[in-house]
């Protein structure tokens, strides 16, 4: 799915045509149909067929990924169930190095002969590719883990929850919005389960079971007198969790202009608030352009982090190996080598993380069998590292991969993908109310919306869903038509404060697009509410 489709989805225009594009990730099956899991011993035997066949044809390295990918969409509109779609896709992808070059092939026929033929095809492709390769692939060393497993630590498997419980939930969410004055409501539950088995000639046999969940809605309010309308989408974040994400806990509640939760999500409460806020947006005054201090909620800031930090710190973009969907990067190697490139203020500490519980990027091992970890990207405002995989690590002097390799399916070759990239909380106690109390002229922004950023990930513009005017330390009302503009370095150097860890929350995307052919990956971005001083704000109202 393209990034524009992701933004469209979060704006809640999901339709039959959207579902048809999304279900291309797998073959539609009847709701509730689930194939029996394949025994791990059988997976190992199938993987060994691939490894041995590739070795016999001259491969010096081979990995095999046996995958089963399940998606489920439950879609409602107003008081009707519009669609229930289950998809399932399974097969094996085989990647090799032969004559110092990569080759890849895949098959959905999992008998021994078909697997062996796919492995032999991958070797033949590698040998042909080697004719035009100037330097052999250099893989960072990787120890074999033997036979290991990893599972998303879920409490309740969403695929095992009765369908009636899911549809009843969505229809009651829609009803909560209608009771607060909404004119139209759409809502969706989207569940993902990736069952992945990885084996390599390094000696790893890794079985992983990964779960993700995304509850979505869109509420529209129409002014009967003027015909003007406003919308507000869900402030939920997709998460690496089970169905328990939709069972809110009072201990997770965070107070702001909208009641939010840290590790759980109250869909009813958010939909009810959304209807009221959509009505308030219709009457909100338009913003006066100028310089403002911005108080950015994590439900908004995650997207700015994704676009202005996550993408430019991908090493393949830095090197010019990749430019699709997001361009290359202004964070060139000379800036990193200098050791003092001031990416942001000393309040800015950004880490890459493939371990954080509940995040979309949390796995035990990446798609080339590397155990995952956490590391610094920006330390006290200084650029200190990038994101790498095994064949890039030597370029920046690393002795091992950082575990950033991922493929969206068994039939796509794995390549460098973004880990969770998150702004760390402030080290001194500070909550949102205290932060706002120190702002004389500002805007408090909640929720993500449209954005634009250039091909070097430098000059950008972002907007949100809810805007609250701050005067002399107090919120005085709602604004509309707000967007802010800056360049990445200027923006992050204007960061004056970050709330403490009690306010820390995750945002994220199921559909981060990259590559050609395009692949989508899921990634989270965490932060606490943050203050940025003197940022340029424009008025986005259409002039007629």
Q: For residue 37, what pLDDT is reported?
A: 62
Q: For residue 253, what pLDDT is reported?
A: 79
Domain boundaries defined on the chain: 3-283, 286-539
Report which DSSP code applies to 25: G
Q: What's the rounded mean pLDDT across residues 127-147?
A: 96
Q: For residue 91, what pLDDT is reported?
A: 98
**Highest mean pLDDT: which of 20-24, 25-29, 91-95?**
91-95
Q: For residue 6, what pLDDT is reported?
A: 36
Residue 219 clears pLDDT 80, i.e. is over it? yes
CA-to-CA distance for 111 and 43, rounded, in angstroms?
11
- Strand 350-353 with 420-423, pairing: antiparallel
CA-to-CA distance for 481 and 467, rounded, in angstroms?
9
Rg, Å, the chain Cα set: 24
Residue 32 clears pLDDT 50, i.e. is over it? no
Dump pLDDT digits (tens) for 408-441: 999 999 999 999 999 999 999 999 999 999 999 9
Q: How many CA atoms lie within 13 A of 417 on its CB side?
A: 29
Lowest model confidence (mean pLDDT) among 25-29, 148-152, 366-370: 25-29
Query: Please, which pLDDT band fits residue 130 given cuts at 50, 70 and 90?
Result: very high
Q: What is the 3-state secondary structure (H, E, C) of 67-128?
A: EEEEEEEEEEECCEEEEEEEEEEEEEEEEEEECCEEEEEEECCCCHHHHHHHHHHHHHHHHH
Q: What's the rounded mean pLDDT across residues 60-69?
A: 98
Query: Please, which pLDDT band fits residue 5 given cuts at 50, 70 and 90?
Result: very low
In terms of C-beta density within 10 A (0-12 exposed, 13-18 middle, 19 or more buried), how is residue 150 classed? Answer: middle
Four-residue CA torsion sign, 48, 51, 56, 60:
negative
Q: For residue 544, what pLDDT is reported?
A: 55
Name the pTM for this structure.
0.93
CA-to-CA distance for 397 and 26, rounded, in angstroms?
39
Q: For residue 31, what pLDDT is reported?
A: 39
Bridge partners of 90?
68
Instruction: Record the tokens describing residue 58, joined without a space.
Output: 């001259």
Dump pLDDT digits (tens) for 71-92: 999 999 999 999 999 999 999 9
Closest CA to 51 of 232, 173, 203, 191: 203
Q: What's the rounded mean pLDDT across residues 175-192?
A: 98
Lowest model confidence (mean pLDDT) among 164-168, 229-233, 246-250, 443-447: 246-250
CA-to-CA distance for 57 and 474, rounded, in angstroms?
71
Residue 146 clears pLDDT 90, i.e. is over it? yes
Dump pLDDT digits (tens) for 509-535: 999 999 999 999 999 999 999 999 999
**CATH T-level assignment (fold) for domain 3-283:** PmbA/TldD fold (3.30.2290)
Q: For residue 22, what pLDDT is reported?
A: 40
CA-to-CA distance for 25 and 367, rounded, in angstroms?
18
Dump pLDDT digits (tens) for 254-280: 767 676 778 899 999 999 999 999 999
Query: Please, which pLDDT band fits residue 289 given cuts at 50, 70 and 90?
Result: very high
Dump pLDDT digits (tens) for 438-492: 999 999 999 999 999 999 999 999 999 999 999 999 999 999 999 999 999 999 9
Q: What's the rounded mean pLDDT across residues 27-41?
A: 55
């Amino acid at each position: 799915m393209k990034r524009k489709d992701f933004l469209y989805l979060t704006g809640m225009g999901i339709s039959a045509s959207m579902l048809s594009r999304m279900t291309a990730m797998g073959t539609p099956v009847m709701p509730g149909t689930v194939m029996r899991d394949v025994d791990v011993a059988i997976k190992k035997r199938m993987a060994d067929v691939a490894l041995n066949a590739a070795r016999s044809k001259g491969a010096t390295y081979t990995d095999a990924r046996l995958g089963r990918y399940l998606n489920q969409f439950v879609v409602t509109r107003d008081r009707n169930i519009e669609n229930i779609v289950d998809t399932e896709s399974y097969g094996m992808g085989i990647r090799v190095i032969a004559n110092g070059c990569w080759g890849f092939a895949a098959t959905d026929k999992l008998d021994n002969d078909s697997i062996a033929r796919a492995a032999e095809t991958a070797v033949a492709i590698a040998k042909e590719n080697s004719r035009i390769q100037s330097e052999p692939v250099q893989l960072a060393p990787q120890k074999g883990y033997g036979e290991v497993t990893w599972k998303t630590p879920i409490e309740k498997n969403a695929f095992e929850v009765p369908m009636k419980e899911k549809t009843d939930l969505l229809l009651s969410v829609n009803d909560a919005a209608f009771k607060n004055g909404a004119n139209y409501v759409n809502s969706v539950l989207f569940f993902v389960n990736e069952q992945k088995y990885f084996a390599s000639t390094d000696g790893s046999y890794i079985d992983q079971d990964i779960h993700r969940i995304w509850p979505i809605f869109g509420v529209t309010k129409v002014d009967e007198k003027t015909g003007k309308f406003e919308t507000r989408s869900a402030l939920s974040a997709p998460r690496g969790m089970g169905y328990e994400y939709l069972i809110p806990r009072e201990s997770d509640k965070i107070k702001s202009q909208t009641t939010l939760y840290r590790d759980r999500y109250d869909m009813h409460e958010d939909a009810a608030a959304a209807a009221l806020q959509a009505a308030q947006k219709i009457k909100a005054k338009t913003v006066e352009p100028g310089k403002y201090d911005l108080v950015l909620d994590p439900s908004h800031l995650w997207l700015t982090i994704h676009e202005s930090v996550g993408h430019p710190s991908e090493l393949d973009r830095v090197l010019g190996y990749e430019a699709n969907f997001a361009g290359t990067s202004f964070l060139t190697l000379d800036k990193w080598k200098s050791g003092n490139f001031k990416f942001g203020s000393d309040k800015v500490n950004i880490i890459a993380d493939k371990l954080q519980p509940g995040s979309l990027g949390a796995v035990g091992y990446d798609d080339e069998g590397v155990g995952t970890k956490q590391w610094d990207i920006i330390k006290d405002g200084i650029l200190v590292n990038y994101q790498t995989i095994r064949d890039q690590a030597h370029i920046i002097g690393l002795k091992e991969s950082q575990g950033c390799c991922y493929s969206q399916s068994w039939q796509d070759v794995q390549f460098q993908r973004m880990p969770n990239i998150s702004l760390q909380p402030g080290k001194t106690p500070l909550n949102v109310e205290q932060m706002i109390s120190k702002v004389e002229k500002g805007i408090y922004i909640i929720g993500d919306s449209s954005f634009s950023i250039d091909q070097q990930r430098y000059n950008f513009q972002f907007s949100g869903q809810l805007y609250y005017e701050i005067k002399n330390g107090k919120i005085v009302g709602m604004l509309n038509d707000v967007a802010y503009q800056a360049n990445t370095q200027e923006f992050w150097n204007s960061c004056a404060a970050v709330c403490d860890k009690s306010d820390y929350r995750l945002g994220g995307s199921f559909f981060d697009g990259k590559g050609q052919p395009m692949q989508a990956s899921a990634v989270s971005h965490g932060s606490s509410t943050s203050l940025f001083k003197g940022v340029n704000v424009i008025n986005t109202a259409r002039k007629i």
